[in-house]
Structure 1
């Protein structure tokens, strides 16, 4: 009996709690609805417009144009770099050539008129060997020009030889070519010496013949005088005929 009374009391208490909770919830909802109505009243100001974010994306044509421009700029920069490098090499070569010329040319020698004379000597060598082949003409001209340069510009020619020796040590192929040229020059020199010796021999033979003829004429005159003295006459044709027969 006590338990049944307790159960009824607990059920009554639970029902009261549920009613109280529902009443509280309804009141809260009503208060929320009232506050929302108050907040939903129209304002006298315009509502701010939402910010619009515009995202621009390039077109395909713009992408290709930008790529082409970038490629052209890169190639242009490379071209400028190559041009600058080439200009640097040319400037360096020009400085080297200028320094080499200053080392070769002697300050106390006149280059301009003597160089003309050397050219004339080279031309004379070509004229001397005009009936020979082209190699011999070239070598003869070179030999004449070299001899004239040693005579007219000795210091400059010596300095030029020093520079050529440096180049030969630096480039062995040039040394081989120089050796070949020296051999050819030696051959030309030998041939020229042989021609001069032959001419000298012919000249000596001519001198001997002239001397012999002169001696014969002298002996003929002496004999003629003797015969004339014997016959005591200078205009007798018989004397001339007799001498001619002898």
Structure 2
């Protein structure tokens, strides 16, 4: 009843190929089951010309500030180094055996007093007398420190001003020689004066018969005895005071403390 339809072989192959192509196209257009992530968005920063100019100006200002700050720091560091060097130099010049607290006060008082005394004097006196008082008071109250300062100033002068240092050395040598001559002359004058006094006393004794030499020697010996006696008395008083204080301290230590008696109520 039914008849089998026979198709050519080429027709079958063409139909199969078309089916494969259609099925592959449908697979490509098929939506995924899971949601796909959004692609990343890249923003490209493109500054304007005004922003670029502002950036250049800001970098210039910051660089200038950094340079100025570094220079100021260098100046501060150098100044701190100078302060430390000056402090170390002053400490090296000061002699530790000489107290500074009262001595510097005395030097300042002497210098200021000279300025007060010379305020109505002439200009050279007002200009020269205060430094003179300063040097003299410093040599009197701080002799070792003043010697160290003089040595340091001399070394600086020899280092930086050798010609001036040589002239000063010659002047100091002449001054020392003059001072020694003055001392020798004073000593010789004193001896000559003493010899003249002794000769005059002998002449007076020869003319009058009075024993002035013995009287003067007795008075001199009595004065020496008085000084020695006063010294001994002072030493005795000091020893007595020390012994008395020692005894009082020992008594205070050895004395038992009174313990208050507790009463039973």
Instruction: Normalising by structure 1, report the TM-score.
Output: 0.48
Instruction: Normalising by structure 2, report the TM-score.
Output: 0.45
Q: Please tell me whether Structure 1 or Structure 2 has the larger radius of gyration of its CA atoms.
A: 1
Higher relative contact order (CA 8 A, sep 6+): 1
From the two aligned structures, give the one with the greater helix fraction: 1
